[in-house]
Structure 1
């Protein structure tokens, strides 16, 4: 057999051979690569016994801090139990990360598989044909997202913030039920920043883990002496509601052009497309969350109350 024929067979063998792995006695077969972020990859897998499909998130840790954060993500899944926050079905970790000997470890999370994809996918599809959702539907989806966020903000023993809320981190269940995913950026919500070192560390973490078009202004340029709280998520919610209405975050276009998102965000200059069928009430709800000064932003309870008021008005109940 010539070398070309042999190489083709070898290549076909690689394609046909499915990767398998075991988590706590259950065997899974990898079916498809779904995506990757800065710290992890997500694959579609099948339980070898039941043939049920799941998503597996694999985090490769290069050092003790990576490993600590990955295990913390599993812990946050045990703290946050809510129908609008993704469930972690099972998890495991293998090895010990040690940069001295170039050793890595792996943390695996078995998650439900949502075949409808993300809210970002849905909005991109709708955006191509200017297929606007009706305002009632938008507010119903938004209120469910808010309920999920409230679970983080009410966490015990201390409030948590998601810190990377965006349409790409919301998967869609049946009937467009939104489910918040990716708890890799979750952190203690309330941080008292005392000094330039703490400020720079927080700013660096935000730059790594919080997507620019949805990142709150106080995380772009962290003051040396300030208080950061859960209202970083409220800014992101404002961007998500804007995207539900107009298909993209108000800062996506700036990002795509390569202009300074930080400047655009810190100026908080929001404009609304005139062609979309949304009234001033929804726009005011968006603007109430997109306040450059976090102290002027509402907490999640006020956002939910305001959204319910706008919805009631739309339905003619007030």
Structure 2
């Protein structure tokens, strides 16, 4: 057999064979990789029996601490039950994470699959043609995102903060219903920082888990003695609403130029296009969330009220 023929057979073999994985004795075929982060991979899978498609988040754990964090993510899914937050349908753990033995464990989370993709993808497509979203539609979707964030802030027994709200972490259902995903960054909302060591630990954690262009100022330079609360998410929501209007976070261009995002965030200088289709009300709402001092930012309940007021003003349906 010539080399070309062998190559064709190998390609056919690759196309015909399917990797598979098992979650709680249920088999799934891996169809493709949907995305990859620093700590996990998201796969598109198909149930071997029903042929229904799902997403699987695969987290490879190299230490007991890694595994503890992955299991904590599953627990957060159990605590948050809301139509605008992605549910974890099944989960399982295989292997043993032990750096001494050079062994790893694998945590799998079975999630619904949303074929439309993320809000980030929609904004990227719209941004290429400068095709702005309708203000009423922006506010409808944003209010539902806020409703999802409120579920974290109202969590029992202690409030939670998502800590990485951004367009890439918002999926869109078939009717444009937003679904908040990726609970790997979720943490207890109110954190009392006591000392330089705790401050540095929280700052390092934020640098790992919170996207720079959506990260609150207090997480860039954590003070040695302070209280961090759920209003880190309010800052992120301000950046997200700006992105829904103008396709990117107000700090994305700073990053793209190679300038200091930290300095830009701490100064909170927000530029708006001179010609804009959006009302002053929506700009004021963004500005209210992008206050450098978290004490000056509203809580999620006030944000939702303001969104409802603007929607009523422009004739939106609540």
Q: TM-score band (shorter)?
A: over 0.9
Post-superposition offset of 1:9: 3.5
* Structure 2 partner of 1:253: 253
**Alpha-carbon distance change, 269 to 26 in structure 1, aligned in 2, over 3 angstroms:** same
Listed as ranges, the matches of 1:199-214 within 5 Å are 199-214=199-214
Listed as ranges, the matches of 1:20-99 within 5 Å are 20-99=20-99
**Separation in 1 of the partners of 2:11 and 2:119?**
36
1:56 counterpart SS class: strand
Cα deviation 1:220-269 (Å, max 9, x = unaligned): 11000000000000000000100111111101111122211111111101
**Alpha-carbon distance change, 94 to 260 in structure 1, aligned in 2, over 3 angstroms:** same
Post-superposition offset of 1:2: 5.4
Cα deviation 1:175-196 (Å, max 9, x = unaligned): 2110000000000000000000
**Contact 1:246/1:276, CA 8 A, preserved across alignment:** no
TM-score (norm 1): 0.97
Post-superposition offset of 1:311: 1.2
**Separation in 1 of the partners of 2:228 and 2:297?**
12
Detail structure 1 runs of 4+ shifted over 4 Å in the superposition: 2-8
**Separation in 2 of the partners of 1:32 and 1:85?**
23
Listed as ranges, the matches of 1:273-284 within 5 Å are 273-284=273-284
2:242 counterpart SS class: helix
Unaligned runs of 5+ in 1: none
1:292 correspondence with 2:292: yes
* Structure 1 partner of 2:166: 166
Cα deviation 1:61-87 (Å, max 9, x = unaligned): 010111000000001010000000001
Q: Number of residue pairs matched?
A: 317
1:77 counterpart SS class: helix
> Which deviates further from its counterpart, 4-13 or 160-169?
4-13
**Separation in 2 of the partners of 1:16 and 1:210?**
39
RMSD: 1.4
* Structure 2 partner of 1:176: 176
2:103 counterpart SS class: coil
**Contact 2:136/2:316, CA 8 A, preserved across alignment:** no
**Separation in 2 of the partners of 1:237 and 1:199?**
24
**Separation in 1 of the partners of 2:316 and 2:97?**
58
1:208 counterpart SS class: helix
1:222 correspondence with 2:234: no
2:100 counterpart SS class: helix
**Contact 2:54/2:113, CA 8 A, preserved across alignment:** yes
1:54 counterpart SS class: strand
